[in-house]
Amino acid sequence: MFSKILIANRGEIAVRIIKTCRRLRIKTVVVYSEADADSLAVEMADESVFLGPPPANQSYLLADKIIQACRDTGAEAIHPGFGFLSEKAEFAQQCVDAGIVFIGPNAHAIAAMGDKIESKKFAQKAGVSCVPGHIGEIDDTAHAIRISEEIGYPVMIKASAGGGGKGIRVAWTRADVEEGFPAVKAEAKGAFGDDRIFIEKFITSPRHIEIQVLGDRHGHVVHLFERECSIQRRNQKVIEEAPSPLLDPETRAAMGAQAVALAKAVDYDSAGTVEFVAGQDKSFYFLEMNTRLQVEHPVTELITGLDLVEQMIRSAAGLPMDFTQEDLKINGWAIESRLYAEDPYRSFLPSIGRLVRYQPPAEGAHGLYQVRNDSGVREGDEISMFYDPMIAKLCTHGATRVDAVNGMARALEDLEIEGLGHNAPFLSAVMDQPRFRSGVLSTNYIKDEFPDGFGGLKAAADQLDLMTAAACWMHRLQITRARGDGRLFAASERDAFVVFIGEHKRAVKLSGEGRALNVELPGEGRSLGLQDVDWRPGRKLFKGVLDGRAFSLEVAAAPEGFLARHRAARARVLVLTPQSADLHERLPKKVAVDTSKLIVSPMPGLVVSLNVEVGREVKAGEAVAVIEAMKMQNLIKAECDGVVKAVGVKAGDSVAADEVLIEFA
């Protein structure tokens, strides 16, 4: 076994590898860029080596520097994590040539399977069923149009070296190809340094199901069952689970057998993933093989009890697997939610900044579910614009899918984040959504269920009760402070108030003593009992037990009342005396500011190009600019017709969120 390993990566995967190495008593070295100098991974590792500036091509993609760091520190092996150099056959071979062990598959397997064009050719020869398409490189846009029309729309335009949802577009028409092909090439060139593109048929209403495989250097290969990754946005996985609610034992065995056969055909000797697109009828087709550890590997670990990082290290050290396919069983159900620094209320645009507060739910057992949280950041860290905006991978595991889903919904409640936007409200909406809970999924799920984007969900009756009780407690605390006698409520007091929650209005009578509050609802003939409150002014998370149900509610002070969010429902809550409530209802409604003549940057980023000038007439839906953020190129389109009055930026400028790009006359 190795005594020291260098980790050629950053963020949560670097932290994840360090945790396994500590358990195995292996010392670790991490490399880092300027942006990651104060990162959690650097803090946790035994040694660290500086690489260069934040851009990946000046730091984490510098193979020679990383190999030299390995030599300088005496590390015997390199673990590449995922992304960056993890699927570069050249890098794996460079390690071998330098006498360093590459913790991953051999260079031949990476070359055969890591290139999406070559892998499809190889899979066809091996008898694996593939999605119909053009297996070969494409010269230019005209060539792409010809191929697309031969295959038949819709088609998928994909970068050969792509991954992580980047370098991929679905084209439904010729116009989509004309717009999408050059965009994919540019994105692929910038993200992977490789602009080769291929096109294949897009399967409508598909499901994304992948098989985890594991091999050693003694010819043994097993599969660790499947993960379903159908909940995707812009081809980026958002929620994953294991096993899949679609598969039956027979289909699972057939997919597993194909995945193992493909892995054996290339002498695969590490952790890898064979990805399939599946129809609702359980038909399946090979998509690609990822020759590395996957982001979503924790759900497989939770249902099998294996540590995949440990298995990769064991294989690289030449140790045989100490289990067989027959030894592996599925234990329960696991869900993973990718927690991103992005604003779901603004089309999921990146929301970079500092984590002023970051308190994930406690890991370990919580009744019917257990929590695992893989994260590379801590409170006070900054989410940088140079890398993916991931904060954490929050996982729950239960005996059944219902337990795992309910556990995830509850775990997301207990999450505290301040300082930047995050997608926890959206993740909560999915957990509560009937279609997701039914297991009838597809990669179109988000588009189907949230066609107009995400604006939150309406508060259900029980959520109105939670918001009412919490707001009354906070209001009572304000009264106590104003009164100054130190009492919360005397048992004899019974105060009447009116509570406004968004468009809802309800009369309440409050009574209680000490840490207990009774909220009587005279108009409904019932009352709410609130106990065990854990909250103080200034804290964002209000915790309590309402009528025996533990809950967490995100709260914040507002110019009037409080802002409250429970899962995907949010509202402004006011607690007023009957007299103040009467006056409040007489106030005129605020008129929103008209911004219809402005096109603003929806995110902080870099202006790649501007397609308009002053005096030009623009039509609704026309592309006017390209903004690059988090390694993704985002097309900015006009929402209405107009004539350009002013252009506030130029190509190459850095812009902030909401900065005006173009003004119409």
Same domain? 70 vs 11 = yes
Q: Which residues of the chain have a pLDDT value below 50?
A: 490-492
pLDDT at residue 484, as a whole number: 64
Instruction: CATH number of the domain at 195, please.
Output: 3.30.1490.20
Rounded Cα–Cα distance for residues 73 and 184 (Å): 39
Instruction: CATH number of the domain at 498, please.
Output: 3.30.700.30
Residue matched to tokens 């006011």 = 574
**Is 570 among the domain residues?**
yes
**Is 428 among the domain residues?**
no
Secondary structure (3-state) at 328: coil
Same domain? 109 vs 235 = yes
Instruction: CATH number of the domain at 215, please.
Output: 3.30.470.20
Token pair in block for residue 390: 């991931």
Same domain? 114 vs 220 = yes
Asked whether the beta carbons of 126 and 190 are under 8 A apart, the reply is no
Q: From the candidates 288, 296, 301, 342, give the one annotated as an active-site residue.
A: 288
From 201, 227, 254, the end of a domain falls on 201
**Is 505 among the domain residues?**
yes
From 531, 560, 584, the end of a domain falls on 584
Same domain? 576 vs 467 = yes
| DSSP annotation string for 501-564 | ETTEEEEEEEE--TT-EEEEEGGGTEEEEEEEEE--TT-SEEEEEETTEEEEEEEEE-SSSEEE
Secondary structure (3-state) at 353: strand
pLDDT at residue 121, as a whole number: 81
pLDDT at residue 164, as a whole number: 66
**Is 230 among the domain residues?**
yes
87 is catalytic: no
Same domain? 274 vs 160 = no
Same domain? 174 vs 302 = no
Same domain? 414 vs 482 = no
Q: List, for residues 464-502, the tens digit of each pLDDT value.
A: 999 999 999 998 888 777 666 555 554 445 688 999 998
Helix axes of 107-114 and 89-97: crossing angle, nearest 10 degrees: 170
**Is 591 among the domain residues?**
no
Secondary structure (3-state) at 320: coil
pLDDT at residue 492, as a whole number: 44
**Is 450 among the domain residues?**
no
Same domain? 23 vs 59 = yes
Token pair in block for residue 513: 């003593």
Same domain? 484 vs 619 = no
CA angle 396, 42, 335 (to 5 degrees): 10
**Single-letter residue type at 616:** R
Residue matched to tokens 């009992």 = 529
Asked whether the beta carbons of 519 and 510 are under 8 A apart, the reply is yes
From 584, 608, 643, the end of a domain falls on 584
Overall size of the chain counted in residues: 665
Give the DSSP H/E element, type plus range, for residue 224: strand 221-233
Helix axes of 89-97 and 63-73: crossing angle, nearest 10 degrees: 30
Q: List, for residues 10-52, the tens digit of each pLDDT value.
A: 999 999 999 999 999 999 999 999 999 999 999 999 999 999 9
Same domain? 264 vs 117 = yes
pLDDT at residue 401, as a whole number: 98
Question: What is the domain count for the chain?
Answer: 6
**Is 518 among the domain residues?**
yes
Instruction: CATH number of the domain at 613, please.
Output: 2.40.50.100
pLDDT at residue 491, as a whole number: 44
What letter would DSSP give residue 257?
H
Same domain? 476 vs 385 = no
Same domain? 327 vs 352 = no
Paired with 528 in beta bridges are 519
**Is 403 among the domain residues?**
yes
Paired with 170 in beta bridges are 156
Instruction: CATH number of the domain at 18, please.
Output: 3.40.50.20
Residue 551: alpha-carbon gap to chain centroid: 24
Rounded Cα–Cα distance for residues 195 and 192 (Å): 8
Domain span at 247: 105-131+204-331
